[in-house]
Structure 1
């Protein structure tokens, strides 16, 4: 399966590879850069400054990641922009995201959260995704393939994040958000930890937020809630199991977080604030209608959440 998937991605991204080089001016002196980053979407690290993309050379850190539309599926780009923007509006820490174009092709430009400006110089912040932090292979990023469970993730945060409360709360909100928006691809490599200069760890901002259910990808949750991995069939008993067996957080606390998030999502999903934020981020005028299926899914899930 992995071999077939790799071949399919390779064939579908031929156009994207051509787009890559169209972004940068040719240079006879620059060495051939390492362009690929891990993941299903074709993406490259760049330095983005004054609306211009530059390839980092040598050990220079990149400032942003550019994601390409795969096989003309530009709605994936717009969907991620929508959900990243929505996450920020409902107080989930999320990197700044915008859309730019290479010719007629949309590009998603995501600010790197593992960077910091120190004395006028861009510096890397050490990060590890949860597979790395748990000593697991990247092939184990999904729970159903032998990867960590939500219980393992909560346990790790309690062990390494001191104090852990904020990181635990963000992990919970991230999973609730995934359930409500239909992001079934929130796996262990899509959660990371950041280490500051004093050696302290905290959970990183949310990233790779995509409405996979609406876009027609596998709808099974990467992390189950209790024993349920179908977000459309969740019941209150599943959240009770999350409280009692997976998170060691109280069920009343989880219910309050669900209520808070569902109310914020219903408020912002179709709001003027959302439409203006998307416009400011570069969403073309004709793309808003293409996001309505995603919005309808969120509204439907939020109505179900009232019973949890």
Structure 2
């Protein structure tokens, strides 16, 4: 946690609330800062309203600076903390069980929580659906229950901006298992139409509603990713990890469209191409 005034970065003193989170590179994960910076920028471009973030450089070292959304400025101009709970906390699950396969929350429990706790819940449920689809299509396999939160900023809790979003699937040494199942499947390459339908029913959407939304994402995400990559203002052009992320997005979106629209694709056992 740091304080950033637009030009300088420092440590908060004497209990002063921090304004940003500084995230350095993750050891042994190639270009993790650029990966997360790109995925967060892509979420913003897709109007998911994630936490605000930007990649910065000091000499040859990169870091991601993420603006804290759990802060507000009072009438005296002082920064104040806003209470938040991640989904493990809200559901009374210990952090050591944040992954579904460890006994942690599944997507049905997450959607039920947002549906019961937030007001108005309908737009926030739709945001959560969009983010789950986004995570699946970009290969964010680490979207566990501690990476979703409720923010207590007004009369009722709201779904907090999304954070900790990067494509883990582009790294062969990391697990291919998603943090939460889609239907009955942990591996995206095994997710077929019936598993998306199981997911939809489990989280309170009709099959038709979910199919329409998933296809909207699968049809629009690749072009948005390519446009973001080519935007010189972000500095993602020419980065090898970003290129791998986009290739993976294109493959997953094409696979999803085929499996949701082609009757012969059911029971398609073709493995997801490796990138």
Q: Normalization by structure 2: what TM-score?
A: 0.88
Q: Shift of the alpha carbon at 1:57?
A: 1.2
Aligned with residue 298 of structure 1, among 235, 249, 255: 249
- Count of residue correspondences: 257
Match of 1:132 among 86, 89, 95: 89
- Verify the 8 A CA contact 1:86 1:268 in the aligned structure 2: yes
SS of residue paired to 1:70: coil
Looking at structure 1, the residues matched to 110 and 98 of structure 2 have their Cα atoms a distance apart, in angstroms, of 12
Q: RMSD of the alignment, in Å?
A: 1.6
Aligned to 1:275: 230
Q: Which residue, 164, 167, 191 being the options, matches 1:208? A: 164
TM-score, L = length of structure 1: 0.79
Superposition deviation, residue 251 in structure 1: 1.2
Residues 142 and 98 (structure 1 numbering): CA distance in 2 closer, same or farther, change over 3 Å? same
Offset, 1:72? 6.2
TM-superposed CA distance for 1:304, in Å, is 1.1
Using a 3 Å threshold, how does the CA distance of structure 1 residues 239 and 101 change in structure 2: closer, same or farther? same
| Structure 1 residue 141 corresponds to structure 2 residue 98 | yes
Contact 1:74 1:106 in 2 (8 A): no
Match of 1:76 in 2: 32
The aligned counterpart of 1:164 is 121
Gaps of 5+ in 1: 1-44
Instruction: State how 1:167-186 maps to structure 2 within 5 Å.
Output: 167-186=124-143
Deviates more, 1:137-146 or 1:87-96: 87-96
Q: How does 1:94-105 map to 2 (within 5 A)?
A: 94-105=50-61
In the other structure, the counterpart of 1:236 is 193
Instruction: Point out 4+ residue stretches in structure 1 off by more than 4 angstroms.
Output: none
Alpha carbons of structure 1 residues 74 and 53: separation in structure 2 relative to 1, 3 Å: farther
1:74, distance to aligned residue in structure 2 (A): 5.2
The separation in 2 between residues aligned to 1:101 and 1:290, in whole angstroms, is 17
Gaps of 5+ in 2: 261-275
Partner of residue 122, structure 1 = 79
> What is the distance in 1 between the residues matched to 2:73 and 2:213?
33
